[in-house]
A and B are shown apart, each in its own frame.
Chain A
Amino acid sequence: MTLNGWLQIGLVLGLVLVAVRPLGLYMATVFEGRRSFASPVLGRIERGFYRLAGVAPDREQSWLAYTLAMLTFSALGFASLYAILRLQAYLPFNPQGFDGVPPDLAFNTAISFLTNTNWQAYGGETTMSHFSQMAGLAVHNFLSAATGIALALAVTRAFSRASAATLGNFWVDLTRATLYVLLPLAILVALAFIATGVPQTLTGAVDATTLEGAKQTIAMGPMASQEAIKQLGTNGGGFFNANAAHPFENPNAFSNILQIWSMLTVSAALLIMFGKMVGAERQGWALLGAVGVILIGGVAVVYIAETAGNPMLTALGLDPAQGNVEGKEVRFGQALTALYVAVTTGLSCGAVNAMHDSLTPLGGFVPMFLIQLGEVLPGGVGSGLYGLVVFAVLSVFIAGLMVGRTPEFLGKKIEAREIKLAMLAVLILPLAILGFSAVAAVLPSALSSLANQGPHGLSELLYAYTSAAGNNGSAFAGLSANTPWFNTTTGIAMVMGRFGYVIPVMAMAGSIAAKKRSAPGLGTFPTDGGLFVGLLVGVILIVGGLQFFPALALGPIVEHVLMLGGKTF
């Protein structure tokens, strides 16, 4: 670790912090339907879209209608993306002449992009045509993120309204999230990416003759446009197999900082938007504070573990000064690699600028654990906000149990029904992660996909289902995941993690919206102070994390001890 490293980490987090409030307030303006500076231009497009789609923007939906609209949209998105991938050989923009994607892989990939997971069982440059990348995958980078924002808005309105039967209109929220937030940001960020060197071309590949006279085929494509929304929408599905470690996706320190900034800022700003919309901006900052504590803790552990390096390699004569650099790129350095690792998993982004499979045991423990906490740090675009609200509800419930009062959050009484629904949501992650991992760990056909043996092999399995169910998409990529077993089961885990989670949360939101608001009294537990922040951190770590501890002990933790003892597999 160096002072310079910490300064760089601090600089990036500072750049995020500066942008969070303006963006949060802008989003509150947009989603409350008030005029913003963008309205004169985008308002026309927005109204045109509603006319063509037959949407009455003023007609609001109950939680159930809102959820059904979201499910219908997702189902159609799945069908269209599946069709594009299967048929890409017959579609335009296929300069490398790739065949259609096989059925199990197309199923997995369509689910993956639809649920904002962006798990990649394929190598982009060897599988996907430019059409599939642009009009298939990148479209769902936008739409799955916009869907997440819409759902978060519905949950926000459960607290900003009292005695209400409706939570907004899904089509309106979806359209505004795309037109007013994601698309303008994506254009700016994409242009900045191109300036740093990310290609944006329709060329398929360039054949170069190297200095030594060999032929090098360099895959090209429209990357910057995809890279921008991939980060802003916390999608994480890269143009290339190596994702953001590839020098085209992430050419230098500036693009790397921009990548981290753009994946973190929208999710963090949504917390401020939440505070603003429920009439208590401080609440947004309190949530952000709790998130920041855990996230920075995660960064520190990765940074310490990776700079400490692998003692077995040091024993072979390697200079420990660089730390563990297997699976890392020289240009990023350990500090911004550690920051990237923690942020991409604390969010549900899943882009990687280093191969997580080659991290030290504790360095690899952190990303897995951060996903298992429920992707709330500050989580995926939208999904992080509603996940955090679930934890906030559980926190006030536990506080209420301790002092024997009916818990309240933002003036809404939290009762048995809400807690049952919140628990239903929270329990879906251990079910999907531990359930599938347990089966895979005894299935010979699944075990034959492992690239590493011993406890690291278990970590590969555990990480795969953690990433899928958490809708993250990063991987211990040594696992050969493009098999019918993994394509099918990770696909199911992704559906459980997205829809199995959000349906009970929407039911909870409907129930909370219908409640009256009670005025804060002397006995009300304030949820915007340090005590609440501390409690929330504790609940996230204990309720979210403890259930995975036995599995983690058998994977990364035991591997750490074995590495110190010089044991190899």
Chain B
Amino acid sequence: MSHFRPALVLLLLFTALTGLVYPLALTGVASVVFPRQAEGSLILRDGQPIGSALIGQNFADDRFFQPRPSATSAPDPQDPTKTIDAPYNAANSSGSNLGPTSKTLIDRVQAAAEAKRAAGWQGPLPADALTTSASGLDPDISQQNALAQVLRVARARGMDEARLRALVEAQTSGRWLWLIGEPHINVLKLNLALDALE
């Protein structure tokens, strides 16, 4: 029993220190030093958030570049015990968790591949365009994926393909110092730049 007092007192002290003082003080410091990042790197238009630069959002319209497929879901409004597909639900991140020999996975990718072929995609298909991300909120696509979409977007908007290809090149984030990171394109920023182009 001699251990009881130190155990209880230290638990309380450390809960106060590491559970309240530490996160709240950091929140205070962050709001001054890094206010934009601390609040989730929101992108505002006319003062209203249209999304976060870090979080992918769903684009279904042909006039926009489209993100990767997303495996996120949401409670079914008809029956809360069930879930329905809700791509890019940023209140419930999730991957598909389908394994490499899952029939569901292979069938899903096959259907998506056939759809891309029907839409006129040529050659090897960019893998990120047919697979779901780990979080279901991946904000990025590969350059290969974006270039494959240029034809569709150009037709839908009546824009010149070469201009769109140049836009994709310009929006690609490369490796820092040619070493760190993976080249990628943020879909939301690309689509904002696309709207600005018109």
Question: Which residues from chain A sit less than 8 Å from chain B, CB to CB?
Answer: 4, 7-8, 11, 49, 52-55, 68-69, 72-73, 76-77, 80, 123, 125-126, 134-136, 138-139, 142-143, 171, 174-175, 178, 183, 186-187, 190-191, 194-203, 205-212, 214, 216-220, 222, 224-226, 229, 240-242, 245-248, 251-254, 257, 309-310, 312-313, 316-333, 336, 352-355, 357-361, 364, 451-456, 459, 476-478, 559, 562-563, 567-569
> What is the CB-to-nearest-CB distance from A353 to chain B, in angstroms, rounded to a whole number?
7
Residues of B within 8 A of A567 (CB): 101
Q: Does B113 have its Cβ within 8 Å of any Cβ on chain A? A: yes
Once the chains are docked, how many angstroms separate the CA of A556 from the CA of B169?
Answer: 40
Q: Does B159 have its Cβ within 8 Å of any Cβ on chain A? A: no
Total residue contacts A-B, CB cutoff 8 A: 379
The answer to whether B10 and A171 have CB atoms under 8 Å apart is yes
Once the chains are docked, how many angstroms separate the CA of A49 from the CA of B58?
Answer: 51
> What is the CB-to-nearest-CB distance from A506 to chain B, in angstroms, rounded to a whole number?
15
The answer to whether A211 and B27 have CB atoms under 8 Å apart is no
> What is the CB-to-nearest-CB distance from B154 to chain A, in angstroms, rounded to a whole number?
18
Interface residues of B in 135-191 (CB under 8 A from A): 135-142, 144, 175-176, 179-182, 184, 188, 191
Question: Which residues from chain B sit less than 8 Å from chain A, CB to CB?
Answer: 3-11, 13-15, 17-20, 22-24, 26-27, 29-31, 33-34, 37-42, 48-61, 64, 68, 88-103, 105-106, 109-110, 113, 117, 123-128, 130-142, 144, 175-176, 179-182, 184, 188, 191-192, 195
Given A247-B137, A354-B134, verify A332-B182 contact (CB < 8 Å). Answer: yes
Residue of B nearest to A65 (CB): B3
> What is the CB-to-nearest-CB distance from B131 to chain A, in angstroms, rounded to a whole number?
4
| Cross-chain contact of B179 among A11, A135, A476 (Cβ < 8 A) | A11
Residues of A within 8 A of B53 (CB): 197
Residues of A within 8 A of B99 (CB): 357-358, 364, 452, 456, 459, 476, 478, 559
Residue of B nearest to A198 (CB): B37
Residues of B within 8 A of A459 (CB): 99
Residue of A nearest to B97 (CB): A478
| Cross-chain contact of A201 among B40, B52, B89 (Cβ < 8 A) | B40
The answer to whether A331 and B181 have CB atoms under 8 Å apart is yes
The answer to whether B109 and A49 have CB atoms under 8 Å apart is no
Once the chains are docked, how many angstroms separate the CA of A202 from the CA of B25?
Answer: 12
The answer to whether B54 and A171 have CB atoms under 8 Å apart is no
> What is the CB-to-nearest-CB distance from B134 to chain A, in angstroms, rounded to a whole number?
3
